[in-house]
């Protein structure tokens, strides 16, 4: 009865039927579409800016992330939603109504994908900003992770959109699976290097700047790429390794070395008096202990050599720098030479003693 009363006051020109609906229904539909459009714009514009300003005052980055996602709303999506809301009050042919429904659904899925992509990108950017200074190579890893995350996201949205508009996706998924296997087999080396680069950058067996040894090659890591890692050798040339090769190799990483254990031997002549031999370990200790960044471990009379009495000495250099180690060893060598010379202790070198026997049985 209420609707009949409303219709009774509607002017005759608004009762004109156009495309199966009276004119007044078209005016209402346009009004609803405009109102919905304006409401979404208000939520997207001023309100979102106020929320963003409020979020920037907080310490957590979650609210900033959510607001930045909300602001990534497509204008086309707003228009489609407004038009779809307006058409809800119209009597449309079944196929036309279904078309509008499918368009609105696809637009919603695309918008959700855009929001999700913005969320992924913002999250990766936040993590990367925190780690970029301490780990410049993290940019490559997060770039690869972001790429595959977006690829999976848009593939899922595409299949979901096809399914909701009535397309049978089972056969398509099966075809994509077979095609994916063929592509993976054709590009397995490239894909292997890509995934191994992510493994290197996340597991961090080495980082840019580390000095590593791989087999017979050694040098400093200059760049960790998507497919290869580049190492600058001591002689100056650049050595390029595939990431798959590095992951499958045994790597010595001197960049992670906190201290360097040094073992070396010193040989003295067999003519050295026993008192001097007993004093040598203490002499070595007194030479090594005062040196900075060095921890003395031990010095022992180890063995009888072919032409020398051999002392074994062990100490630690509390630095990973090779030049520091060589400076320390040089200082120790000079100290030993000076002290042995002062004590009259002779370093051994390859010698032979020849005993000659006379015919009368005597020796010379």
Query: Does residue 52 surpass a pLDDT of 60?
Result: yes
Query: Does 349 fall in a domain?
Result: no
Q: Is 218 found in the same domain as 334?
A: no
Query: Does 32 fall in a domain?
Result: yes
Q: Between 279 and 165, whose confidence is greater?
A: 279
pLDDT digits (tens, 9 = 90+) for 316-358: 999 888 889 999 999 999 999 999 999 999 998 876 666 677 6
Q: Is 213 found in the same domain as 316?
A: no
Pick from 138-147, 235-244, 267-276, 323-332: least confident: 138-147
Q: Is 126 found in the same domain as 24?
A: yes
Query: Does 359 fall in a domain?
Result: no
What per-residue confidence (pLDDT) applies to 276? 94
Q: Is 124 found in the same domain as 33?
A: yes
- β-bridge pairing 21-22 and 211-214: unpaired
Domain span holding position 200: 195-256
Please, what is the average pLDDT of the chain? 77
Measured in whole angstroms, the distance separating CA 249 from the mean position of its chain's CA atoms is 19
Q: What is the 3-state secondary structure (H, E, C) of 310-335?
A: EEEEEEEECCCCHHHHHHHHHHHHHH
Number of structural domains the chain divides into? 3
Q: Is 284 found in the same domain as 246?
A: no
- 44, 50, 55, 57: CA torsion to nearest 10: 160
What per-residue confidence (pLDDT) applies to 54? 63
Residue 237 CB neighbours (<10 A): 9
Q: Is 58 found in the same domain as 110?
A: yes
Q: Is 247 found in the same domain as 203?
A: yes
pLDDT digits (tens, 9 = 90+) for 154-172: 888 887 777 777 766 666 5
CATH code assigned at 278: 3.30.70.100
Domain boundary among 90, 114, 134: 134
The full length of the chain comes to 364
Q: Is 314 found in the same domain as 223?
A: no
What per-residue confidence (pLDDT) applies to 115? 81
Query: Does 324 fall in a domain?
Result: yes
User: Mean of the pLDDT values across residues 260-287?
Assistant: 94
Query: Does 172 fall in a domain?
Result: no
User: Mean of the pLDDT values across residues 130-135?
Assistant: 59
182's enclosing H/E stretch is helix 170-186
Q: Is 32 found in the same domain as 115?
A: yes
Domain boundary among 134, 150, 166: 134
Backbone angles phi, psi at 290, to 5 degrees: -70, -10
Query: Does 220 fall in a domain?
Result: yes
Q: Is 321 found in the same domain as 206?
A: no
CATH code assigned at 221: 2.30.30.60
Domain boundary among 134, 165, 183: 134
What per-residue confidence (pLDDT) applies to 1? 46
pLDDT digits (tens, 9 = 90+) for 206-257: 888 888 888 888 888 888 877 788 899 888 888 888 888 888 788 888 877 7
252's enclosing H/E stretch is strand 251-253
């Amino acid at each position: 009865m209420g609707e009949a009363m409303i219709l009774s006051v509607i002017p005759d020109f608004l009762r004109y039927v156009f495309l199966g609906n009276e004119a007044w229904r078209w005016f209402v539909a346009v009004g609803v579409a405009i109102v919905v459009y304006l409401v979404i714009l208000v939520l997207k514009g001023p309100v979102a800016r106020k929320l963003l300003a409020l979020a920037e005052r907080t310490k957590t980055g979650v609210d900033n992330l959510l607001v930045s996602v909300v602001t990534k709303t497509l204008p086309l999506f707003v228009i489609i939603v407004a038009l779809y809301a307006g058409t809800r009050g119209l009597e449309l042919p079944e196929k036309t109504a279904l078309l509008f429904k499918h368009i609105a659904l696809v637009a919603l899925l695309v918008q959700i994908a855009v929001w999700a992509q913005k969320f992924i990108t913002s999250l990766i950017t936040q993590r990367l900003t925190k780690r970029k200074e301490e780990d410049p190579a993290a940019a490559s890893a997060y770039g690869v992770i972001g790429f595959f995350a977006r690829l999976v996201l848009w593939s899922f949205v595409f299949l979901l959109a096809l399914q909701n508009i009535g397309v049978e996706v089972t056969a398509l998924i099966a075809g994509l699976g077979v095609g994916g296997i063929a592509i993976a087999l054709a590009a397995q080396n490239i894909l292997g290097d890509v995934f191994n680069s992510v493994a290197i950058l996340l597991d961090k067996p080495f980082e840019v700047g580390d000095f590593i040894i791989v087999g017979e090659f050694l040098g400093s890591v200059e760049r960790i790429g998507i497919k290869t890692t580049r190492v600058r050798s001591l002689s100056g040339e650049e050595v390029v390794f595939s990431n798959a090769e590095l992951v499958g190799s045994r790597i010595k990483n001197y960049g992670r070395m906190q201290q360097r254990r040094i073992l070396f031997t010193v040989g003295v002549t067999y003519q050295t008096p026993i008192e001097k031999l007993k004093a040598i370990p203490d002499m070595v200790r007194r030479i090594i202990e005062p040196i900075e960044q060095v921890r003395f471990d031990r010095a022992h009379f180890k063995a009888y050599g072919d032409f020398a009495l051999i002392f074994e000495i062990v100490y630690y250099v509390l630095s990973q720098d090779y030049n520091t180690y060589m400076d320390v060893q040089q200082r120790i060598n000079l100290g030993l030479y000076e002290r042995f010379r002062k004590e009259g202790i002779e370093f051994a070198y390859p010698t032979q003693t020849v005993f000659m026997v006379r015919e009368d049985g005597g020796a010379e």
